[in-house]
A and B are shown apart, each in its own frame.
Chain A
Amino acid sequence: QVQLQESGPGLVKPSETLSLTCAVSGYSITTNWWSWVRQPPGKGLEWIGEIYHSGRANYNPSLKSRVTLSADKSKNQFSLNLTSVTAADTAVYFCVRNGYYSGDPWGQGTLVTVSS
């Protein structure tokens, strides 16, 4: 049974870099693409980007200048770096396995607050 678990700091200062990791268990990350999606408190879902184990990635154009995704096959995990964060980046961040043009399953999500 595939499981995804996000980890990383819950509080990041403005202008700094948000870094999260998604550990995958029960499934190899070499088989699928993997995405990050975020949800500001009380709002809808926004796709951030997707990564393949080779390092190939696709990004949301609205975030592309600030986002870097990476994958570590040896640890079976993938990561998100978002630079120059502001309060607008406060959100629950989910990692997701890409399936048939959709995402399943999702990690439980981790709340990241941007505040000084």
Chain B
Amino acid sequence: ETVLTQSPGTLSLSPGERATLSCRASQSVSTNYLAWYQQKPGQAPRLLLYGTSTRATGIPDRFSGSGSGTDFTLTISRLEPEDFAVYYCQQYGGSPLYIFGQGTKLEIK
């Protein structure tokens, strides 16, 4: 079973700064099969990126994704106040079919 490990667990930054979130898989993942979500308190997760780097509908271009193999990154170029949330990576294709990382909490410094 593939395990997704996200780091750091908590990231403390200020608005305007650049955020870099990591997702490491225990086995190689196709770039087609890696997605990122944002979840705010009391809300459902929202799809940000799929296929590693394709932004979902309505997602601002300050969100970008990269990576291959076992290492993937979500980058937020300039943090806006509404970006402070928990972020999850997700892989398709293993067992179970969909696996989530444990999440990174992005908090205001």
Contact = CB atoms under 8 A, between A and B. Distances in A.
Contacts of A107: 44
Nearest to A64: B96
Nearest to B1: A61
B51 to A, nearest CB: 6
Interface residues of A, number: 24
A94 B100 contact: no
A102 B44 contact: no
A16 interface: no
Nearest first, the 8 A-B pairs at minimum CB distance are A102-B35, A101-B92, A104-B47, A47-B98, A106-B44, A60-B96, A102-B50, A45-B100
Given A60-B96, A100-B51, A101-B32, 14 more contacts: A44-B102, A45-B45, A46-B100, A50-B98, A61-B96, A99-B50, A100-B50, A100-B54, A101-B93, A102-B35, A102-B50, A102-B90, A104-B50, A108-B44
